[in-house]
Structure 1
Amino acid sequence: MAESTGVLPGLSPVAGKPVHAAFDGGRLTSDAGVLLLAEIDRRLGVCERLARCIEDPRAPERVRHTLAEMIRFRALLIAAGYADANDCDALRSDPAFKMAVGRLPESGGDLCSQPTISRLENLPGPVALKRMMAAMVELFCDSFVTVPRRLVLDIDDTEDRVHGAQQLSLFHAHYDGRCFLPMHIYEATTGKPVAVILRPGKTPDGTEVALVLRHVVRAIRARWPRVDILVRGDSHYGRHEAMSWCERNRVGYIFGLGGNTVLLGRVTALAEDAAMGRVAGEVDKVRRFGEFRYAARSWKVERRVIARVEASAQGTDTRFIVTNLTGTAKALYETTYCARGQMENLIKAHKLHLASDRTSCSKATANQFRLLIHTAAYWLLHTLRSLAPKASFWREAQFDTLRLGLIKVAARVTEMVTRIKVSLPAGFPYQESLAMLAARTAKLPP
C-alpha cells in the first residue's frame, strides 16, 4: 500500500498550539475487527462452502486468487460496510483484509481487484447456484449444536428496485417501478438465514411457494427427519398449493388471509360485539376473536380460519389468518402469528445494514450470487452477535451497531520476521468486549 503524506489543512489551533495532520502514520487499518470475522468464517466455513460449489475454469498454475479467497474478501468487505464491488480496489492493500484472507500484511500480494470480482460474480451458472443454496441450508443445520425440537420458518419477500431492464425485473404496480422481489426465509427463534432467493418482481403463486417449501423442508428433514416445522407468512403465501403440501408432509402453517365479503359476513356479529364492548367499557380498543371453517373457491377442502376484530375510535379493523395448528384463536393470532413481525427486522439487517439490494448486474445468476455472498456476511455478523452474553448490550445490537463498535477499529500492523504485531488503540472503549468475543470465537468448533 503506497504511503500518503498529504496534509489536512485548515485545522484550528488547540490551546494556542497549531495542529498538523498528515497521512504519515504508517501501515494502519480502520477495520481491525475483520480479523475476528475471518476467524468466525474459518470455523463456520461459509465462504469455503460456497467456493466448493463452483467449478474453477482457470489453469491452476496461473491462479493468483482462489475462489474461496475472493468470496471471503467480498463477504468481509460487505460485513465491514463496503458493499460496492469498487471498494475492492480501494482496500485490496489494506493490512487487516489481507491478513483476514490469509496473506501477510506487507510482503504478501494484494487482494483481488474489482474487475476480478465482477468476473467471479458472473462465473456461477444455475447448477452451481443450486449447489450453493443447498450448501447454505446445510450450514444452517450444522450451526445447531443439538437437534432442535422445533423450527419456525418465516417466509417473506421484499422490494429490490432495479436501475433498468435486468433479467427477472418486472414492473410492480404497488411499488410503482421495476424491481425484484427476492424471497427470504429465516428461522424465527434464532434469526438464522435459511434461504434468500432472487425472483421476479411479482407476487409468488402457490406453485412457486410450494416448490420452495418442498426444497427447504426436504433438505432440513434429510438431516433431522422428526423435527417439527412451522411455516409462517403473510397472505401472499397462504396459497392452496402451499397449504396442501404442508398438510401432506407434516408441516404446520399459519398464514395471513386476505379479507373478502364472504369472510367479513362471517364475523358481522363479532364486529358488532367488539363495537358495543368498546362503547360500554369506554376503552380505546376492544379486540374479539372468532374462528370458523372456510373454503375459498380455489381450495379443495375447508380450513380453519381465525378472525381478529378490533374496534377503536378509527373504526373496526378485521384481520384473518388460516392455519392447521391447534390452540385458542387468541393465542394463535397474538402469540404465534404476530411474532412474525420480527421477520421485518431480519430482512432489514440483510437489506439495509448489509446493502443486499445492490443487485445491479444484468444477469440474474450474478445477482443471485451476490445475494448469497451478502448472506455469508450476514452469517458472520450474526455469529459474532450470538457469541455475546445474553445480558450483554451486543447480544441485541443491530448489525450497523456491531460494525461501528467492533469492526471499525483502528490498528497499526507490523510484519516482523517471526510474527505479526497488531497494535490496537489504548483508548478503544470496548476493549473487554472485543477480547471476550475473540476468546469465545477461538472456542468455536472448526
Structure 2
Amino acid sequence: MKRIQMYRNKKVLVVGLAKSGVAASLLLHRLGAFVTVNDWKPLSENKEAQSLLDEGIKVVCGSHPVELLDEGFELIVKNPGIPYTNELIKGAIEKGLPVITEVELAYEISEAKMIGITGTNGKTTTTTLVHHMLEAEKKRVYMAGNIGTVACEVAQEAGEDDTMVVELSSFQLMGIQTFKPSIAIITNVYEAHLDYHSSLHEYAHAKAAITRNQTEEDFLIVNADQPELMDLISHSKAQQLPFSTKKIVKDGLYVMDDSIYFRNELIISLSDIVLPGAHNLENILCAIGAAKLSGAGNQAIYEVLTTFTGVRHRTQFVREWNGVKFYNDSKATNSLATKSALDAFSAPTILLCGGLDRGNDFDDLLPFLSNVKAMVAFGQTSEKMLALGKKAGIKELWSVSGVEESVGKAAEISRSGDIVLLSPACASWDQHPTFEVRGDIFINRVNML
C-alpha cells in the first residue's frame, strides 16, 4: 500500500455505507483524514455506523441532510448505489466539490498492477476466469470490486509484484478521476440501468470511462462486434486488443475453424471448453487476452478452460433431480442476460422469472422462448411475465409468491430431461436485498427436493 499524504487533515464526507462505504471510511481515517459518514439508516439500526463510531469517526444517520455541506468538506466519497440525483450529491456538485467512488481510493493507494473489467454482461465470469488463469500460472492475484470484495480493502494488501483483477460497474466508473488500469476490458454495452443513468448515452460513456486515463503503455480489450462501442473508445490512447466471435481480427482474439486464436496463435479448441453457453465465448476471449498480456502461458489457460464450469448465480448448475437439471442464473437482472441463458439450452425448459418492475416490457425475450414449456413467475413483474408467456404460446403459466415456491412448482410439473432455469430478467430488490440472496434461496430449496 502506498503511504499517500494527500488526505492528511482533509475533511471528507462519505455518503452511504454498506461494504464500500465502511471500507472507504476506515481507509481515509487511516490516511489521516477527518472523516464524517452519512447514511440513511437510523443509528439504532445501523451496525456499520456504530462500528465506525467506535473507531472515532463522526457519524450522521437517518437521512441525507443537505446542510452537512456547510461543514466545509473538501471531498465526497459516494456509495456507488446512491444516484447523482440525490439532493446531497447534487448540492455537492453545485458547490464544485469532487465526488468520487471508493475504486478511486483503491487506485491511489495500490502498488499492484490493475486489470479493470466492465460491460453490461459477462463482467463476473470474465473477472473470475482471469483470476483463475493467473493463479494457474502461479501469479499472486486478487479479485476485487463489484464482484464482492471492496477494492480499497484489497489494495491495502496487494504488493507491487501482485495483480488486482477488478470488476467495475458503471456506477463505480462515474466516480473516477485518475483511475487507470494497466489492462481494461469492455465486454459489451447494451441498454441497462436506465433507472439510474439518464440515458443510454450516459450509461455507455460511464462504461467507456475505464479507458479515459489510459496511456500508450496500457491495453484496452474491446468488443469489435459492436461498432458503436468501437466508435465510443476510438480516442483511447491505449493499445487496443479487439475481440470478435463473428469475424477474424488478426491483431486480436477471434474464432476460426472451431478454435480460439490470440494474435494468430492457436490457444484452444472450442470442443475442449466446458463452460456452457455461446454467450460465454465473449467472456472467454476477453479473459484469454488479459491473461496472455499478463504473462500467462497457454497451458495455464487451457487448464482453466477445461475445468471451469461457471460462476455462482450465473447459469450455475445446481443439481440433477429425477432426471431434471436445475440451473441458477439469479444474476440475470435484465432481459439480455436471460436471453443468453435461454440460448444456452436446447432441452425443454421451465423458466422461473420475475422481480422488480422498472417499467419496461419483455417482448425482446419472445424469440428466445421456443424451448420454454412452462413459465413460473413471481414478484412485481409476475403479470407482465405471464402475459409474455401467453403471447409466446406457452401452455403452462403459473404465478407464485416467490423463488422458493417457484422451485416447488417447477419440481411438480417437470419431467425427466427438462431444464429448470432461474433467470429472472429483473432485479431482486422487490423481494430480496441482492440477487445473491435470491440465488441462495433457490439453491437451498433445490437441494431440499
Regarding TM over 0.5, the answer is no
Q: Which has the larger radius of gyration?
A: 1
Bigger relative CO (Cα 8 Å, ≥ 6 apart): 1
Higher-helix-fraction structure: 1
TM-score of the superposed pair, with normalisation by structure 1: 0.31
TM-score of the superposed pair, with normalisation by structure 2: 0.30
